[in-house]
């Protein structure tokens, strides 16, 4: 293992020595660098999970996480471990102990989380690729806020071996890049499939998802959606049969229960230091009525069935990645809580159902990035990455123009 110092002008990397590793061999990612969220094991280093007391009470990893090993085996060089929201609980990118990474595209606003350092490092050009994790939106949100490409895969599609999971039925390994060409190359490596340029048979514009978004988000995305209408088969339809925020409400119940199961014993033994926001999330010990859990589980099964039938292995769903623009880095705690709830109203769709989603850097509101998402069918990750790359070539949108 090499240890070096990089010019971390963004506050993206975990403080202290920067752990670096040379690639195992040459391969399809030779010449590219990558960073990993501090939830992934890197042999010889402690996986810190965004909290100093977690780092102090856990031993160094004995082996690299599967995703880390796979990128090293494909020729990429590891540049370091990046900051995550505290114990990965958050969607804004704020960490009381290690700092909030800079959003290079909107420096006075949050970068999004919990894969905050990974997104910051990619958006700011410190690395070409970064690994993140996504349970309730932790890749998709920072991808949108920082104006880069981000994938949350189908649940279980990419191995989580060597990852500190927090909510196992939601957790996925995702990644970021700045451009669509690299996005496709990394997807081929992590998915083990060729990425062939193609668009789906049909795209469904989720009308109720757009209705939940603030006007600056809708206004920024409208020209891109209009270009899609002119170029391919488009259907406009509501996603939910009832109230769309119900999807997020049931996700919160299930994810909260799993999150508490993961951390309850450690918290009881260690009595760790937490920010007030994280401490508040654990204040009730995560005890949820069995009837409430049963209702959320039943809802999840129904929502998954509805989307599987709607997408049918050939359609993709189009929606804003986030209903809001990134909030100020100096926002009040109450504003932060409100922002997280708004974000999950949309990110909870793929999280609850376990479907793959890509966020594309297609627009801006003034100078602030606005991401557009496609949700693909279950297991259709390669097709989803291919659709993103094809949109780059055929529509020359956003940062994808360099590939046109």
Look up the CATH superfamily of 202-403.
Answer: Amidase signature (AS) domain (3.90.1300.10)
CATH fold of 2-191: Amidase signature (AS) enzymes (3.90.1300)
pLDDT of residue 399: 53
For residue 46, count other CB atoms closer than 10 A to its CB: 18
Instruction: Please list, residue by residue across 312-350, b when 16 or more beta carbons sit within 10 angstroms of its beta carbon and e when fewer do.
Output: eeebbbbbbbbbbbbbebebeeeebeebbebbbbbbbbb
What are the φ and ψ backbone dihedral angles of 372, each rounded to 5 degrees? -110, 140
Bridge-based pairing of strands 129-134 and 149-152 is unpaired
Peptide linkage before 114 cis (omega within 30 of 0) = yes
Judge whether 81 counts as a catalytic residue. no
Of 230, 16, 37, the residue nearest 122 (C-alpha): 37
* Distance between CA atoms of residues 141 and 111, nearest Å: 8
- The DSSP secondary-structure symbol of 144 reads H
Indicate which residue of 33, 37, 120, 322 is catalytic.
Answer: 37
Q: Which residues make up the CATH 3.90.1300.10 domain(s) of the chain?
A: 2-191, 202-403
Of 320, 173, 162, the residue nearest 244 (C-alpha): 320
Indicate which residue of 33, 88, 114, 116 is catalytic.
Answer: 114
Judge whether 96 counts as a catalytic residue. no
Kind plus residue range of the DSSP H or E element containing 392: helix 381-395
Tens of pLDDT, residue by residue over 148-174, are 999 999 999 999 999 999 999 999 999
- Asked if 315 and 279 touch (Cβ cutoff 8 Å), the reply is no
pLDDT of residue 107: 98
Kind plus residue range of the DSSP H or E element containing 304: helix 290-311
- Give the burial class of 107: count Cβ atoms within 10 A of its Cβ; 0-12 exposed, 13-18 middle, 19 or more buried: exposed
* Distance between CA atoms of residues 367 and 147, nearest Å: 10
pLDDT of residue 84: 98
pLDDT of residue 402: 44
- Sign for the CA dihedral angle at 34, 36, 40, 44 comes to positive
Residue segments in the chain with a per-residue pLDDT below the cut of 70: 1-5, 285-286, 395-404
Q: Which two tokens stand for residue 348?
A: 């909870």
CA angle (294 as vertex; 291, 295 as ends), nearest 5: 85
Indicate which residue of 33, 138, 322, 373 is catalytic.
Answer: 138
- The set of long-range contacts for 284-290, using a CB threshold of 8 Å and a minimum separation of 24, is 285/260, 286/256, 286/257, 286/259, 286/260, 286/261, 288/253, 288/256, 288/257
* Distance between CA atoms of residues 110 and 82, nearest Å: 16
Length of the chain measured in residues: 404
What are the φ and ψ backbone dihedral angles of 192, each rounded to 5 degrees? 70, 30
Of 338, 330, 377, the residue nearest 357 (C-alpha): 377
Q: What is the pTM of this model?
A: 0.96
Judge whether 365 counts as a catalytic residue. no
Count the helix, strand and coil residues of the chain and give each as a percent rounded to the nearest 5. 40, 20, 40
147: left (phi over 0), alpha (psi -120 to 50) or beta: left
pLDDT of residue 401: 46
Query: What is the average pLDDT value for the chain, to the nearest integer?
Result: 94
pLDDT of residue 287: 78
If DSSP codes are grouped into helix, strand and coil, which group holds residue 373? Answer: strand
Q: Which two tokens stand for residue 346?
A: 């949309």
């Amino acid at each position: 293992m090499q240890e070096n110092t990089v010019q971390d002008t963004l506050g993206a990397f975990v403080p202290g020595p920067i752990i670096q590793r040379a690639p195992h061999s040459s391969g399809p990612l030779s010449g590219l660098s990558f960073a990993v969220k501090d939830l992934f094991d890197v042999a010889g280093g402690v996986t810190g999970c965004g909290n100093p007391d977690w780092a102090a009470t856990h031993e160094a990893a004995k082996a690299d996480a599967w995703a880390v090993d796979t990128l090293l085996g494909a020729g990429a060089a590891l540049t370091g471990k990046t900051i995550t929201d505290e114990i990965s609980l958050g969607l804004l990118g704020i960490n009381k102990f290690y700092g909030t990474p800079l959003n290079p595209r909107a420096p006075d606003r949050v970068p999004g989380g919990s894969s905050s350092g990974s997104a910051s490092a990619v958006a700011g050009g410190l690395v070409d690729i970064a690994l993140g994790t996504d349970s309730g939106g932790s890749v998709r949100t920072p991808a949108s806020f920082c104006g880069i490409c981000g994938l949350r895969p189908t649940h279980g599609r990419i191995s989580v071996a060597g990852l500190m999971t927090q909510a196992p039925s939601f957790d996925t390994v995702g990644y970021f890049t700045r451009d669509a060409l690299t996005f496709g190359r990394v997807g081929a490596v992590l998915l083990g499939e060729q990425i062939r340029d193609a668009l789906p048979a049909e795209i469904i514009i989720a009308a109720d998802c757009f209705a939940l978004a603030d006007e600056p988000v809708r206004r920024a995305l409208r020209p891109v959606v209009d270009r899609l209408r002119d170029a391919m088969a488009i259907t406009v339809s509501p996603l939910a049969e009832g109230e769309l925020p119900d999807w997020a409400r049931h996700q919160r119940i299930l994810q909260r229960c799993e999150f508490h199961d993961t951390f309850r014993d450690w918290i009881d033994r260690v009595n760790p230091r937490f920010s007030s926001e994280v401490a508040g999330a654990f204040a009730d010990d995560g005890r949820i009525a069995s009837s409430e859990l049963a209702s959320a589980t039943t809802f999840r099964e129904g929502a998954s069935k509805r989307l599987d039938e709607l997408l049918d292995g050939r359609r993709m769903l189009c929606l804003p990645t986030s209903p809001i623009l990134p909030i100020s880095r100096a926002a009040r705690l109450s504003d932060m809580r409100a922002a997280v709830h708004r974000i999950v109203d949309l990110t909870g769709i793929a999280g609850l159902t376990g479907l793959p989603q890509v966020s594309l850097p297609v627009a801006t509101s003034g100078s602030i990035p606005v991401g557009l998402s496609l949700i693909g069918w279950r297991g259709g990750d390669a097709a989803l990455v291919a659709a993103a790359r094809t949109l780059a070539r055929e529509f020359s949108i956003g940062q994808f123009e360099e590939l046109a």
